[in-house]
Amino acid sequence: MTVLVFGAGGQIGQELLRSLSGRVVCAVTRSGRLPNGRECVQADFDRPETLRPLLDAQRPAQVVNAAAYTAVDRAESEPDVVFRINAQAPGVIAHWCARHGVPLVHYSTDYVFDGQGTSPYGVDDPVAPLNIYGASKLAGERAVRAAGGCSLILRTSWVYAAHGHNFL
């Protein structure tokens, strides 16, 4: 029973791989290499049309999508790229998962909100992204839901780990 992890080289993906040790995992990164140099499956989310054949070849039992375009400020200058990576690619994955009865865990962000809340956000709180990054992640959530499969969307905030670029 293979768990396919998109974004395995990122901050969340690396922690997922660590926590899934002992299970059969197919790690997928943009470069085809993990940070430790080990080879893995390569995927380019900027070319969403390449994801369906990858999934057909791997035939996972579960899929986790932790891949994303996360350069929030730079996103403003290249919205087409950001939406392909954060919205279209998750939609392709979600449709494949729905068609094959494969559960999907998709990582999103609190950037789908406007930041004006005074208490923790709830699932049903209104969304109002303030930038391209947040709008693209919201579009990704909507694409995952529209696919109609078994999915779980996690909205993260302030992610940190022993590696990565947060809290420097």
Q: Which pair of structure tokens corresponds to residue 75?
A: 């996103």
DSSP string covering 23-63: S-EEEEESSSB-TTS-B-EE--TTSGGGHHHHHHHH--SEE
Which one of 69, 107, 111, 133 is the catalytic residue? Answer: 133
Known catalytic membership, residue 121: no
Q: ∠55-150-88 over CA atoms, to 5°?
A: 55
Write out the catalytic residue numbers: 133
